[in-house]
Chain A
Amino acid sequence: MPSMKPRGKRIYDWFEHRLHFEAPVKDAALHPVPSRTASWWYVFGSAAFTLLFLQIFTGILLALIYVPSAGHAWSSLNVLNHQVELGWYIRALHGWGSNFMVAIVIIHMTQVFLFGSYKYPRELTWCIGVILLLLTLGMAFTGQVLRFDQDAYWGLGIGASIMGRVPVIGGDLVHLLLGGPIIAGATLTRFFDLHVFIIPGLLLLLALIHSCVGSIPARSAGNNVIAP
């Protein structure tokens, strides 16, 4: 017997009966919050998460053109800026997005600190958040290395010389950081690995845990009472 439902609804139901997405999405979007928290002060966590996805998306677009080779990185960016249709715009989105992400993450942290939102039961959320801040700064540093211009080169020199001050194992750490005895091709390759695979992987995983762990106590700790 043909269903009376429209085709779109039937397709939606087919997936919904297998995925069960609706309940958690509704729960997250519609669960009651105290009226005093319906304020712009609470947007920065979501804003940081949105920026993370903007960065991942624009980063994937840039990786279509960028060449992670010490001999070609800079010239591939020139092609991106001047020869690829709207390449300059995508690159600017990624560059400005990174600045905004660092700023928004720091504002988010400041808000959580000032409002005391790091207290029980959210200590773990705060701790993961601190790691997320460090990973965000790590993304900013490794990202500017990928240009492999003079800024990147001498910035790496500063990083290496700070690393070289570690007692006993400093010299080994410098070689590990640079991928060899000098700043060269191997250095760019490993910073590309850090910027594109290692740090974003950790960042995405921890950001998901951060938002899940962060929202569970909110609902179980008697916070779901709407103030009059």
Chain B
Amino acid sequence: MNHDEQTPQAQTDMAPQAAPAADGEGVVSRRWFLLKASIALNGVVGLALAYPILRYLGSPMQSDASFKSWVSLGAINDFPAGQTRLAYYKNPYERPWDGATDNVACYVRRTSEKEFQVFAVNCAHLNCPVRWFPESQLFMCPCHGGVYYANGERASGPPTRGLFTYDWKLEGGSLHINAGQMPTLSNSAKLVNISIGGGDSTCQA
């Protein structure tokens, strides 16, 4: 009966049909009710705050038109036929404080007068920058030994596929590519299919 003595007010406040048991079960004291009510109110405030916070934090995940837009790599004549050249473009998604980081590199391979291939510099294994070796006609990655043929197909090493490629088009005498995101296996960068014994390396029999 000790508990009942402590909460006489609560007893009289209760509806008569909910007669409290001797051990105080079913009794809701004012103090207990206010505690629960304030926890619930705090929960509501928390949810009201959580929504804008989560939207704010998730803003980089929202797709932007500049993630996929056409940028110029310069005049077509800068890329001699039969050669692979390093080119740079200003990333379409940029901020004034980006420094050198929004100046993105890619490899342009001109196969004929009107035919190009544009590769991301990022190895398809772990995004390290591959380097073009004209002597052996191979792209080689310094990190874990990934090697690609001149046409971007995988030659050897840990990459499971060829180099990432950009869509390209010719417009007014200059070469444009569709770029904006760092290529990873999860975004829309297209991949060169693997075929055995590809490439035109002079090292091949």
Contacts and interface: CB of A to CB of B under 8 A. Distances in A.
Interface of A: 69-73, 148, 153-154, 157-158, 160-166, 170-172, 174-176, 178-187
A153 B101 contact: yes
3 interchain residue pairs of minimum CB distance = A71-B99, A164-B184, A170-B186
Contacts of B96: 185
Contact of B99 (A162, A164, A171, A185): A185
A101 B66 CA distance: 42
B143 to A, nearest CB: 8
A120 B169 CA distance: 67
Contacts of A165: 185-186
Interface of B is mostly: loop
Contacts of A170: 184-186
A76 to B, nearest CB: 12
A181 B184 contact: no
14 contacts: A71-B99, A157-B122, A158-B128, A164-B185, A170-B185, A171-B184, A172-B61, A174-B182, A174-B187, A181-B67, A182-B102, A182-B104, A183-B182, A185-B102
Contacts, number: 104
B97 interface: yes
Given A184-B95, A186-B95, A166 B186 contact: yes
A148 B127 CA distance: 17
Contacts of A180: 60, 93, 95
B60 A175 contact: yes
A158 B126 contact: yes
A179 B181 contact: no
A174 B129 contact: no
Contact of A70 (B66, B97, B125): B97
Nearest to B144: A158
Given A170-B184, A170-B186, A161 B126 contact: yes
B58 interface: yes
Given A69-B99, A70-B97, A71-B97, A162 B91 contact: no
A126 to B, nearest CB: 31
Given A172-B61, A178-B60, A160 B127 contact: yes
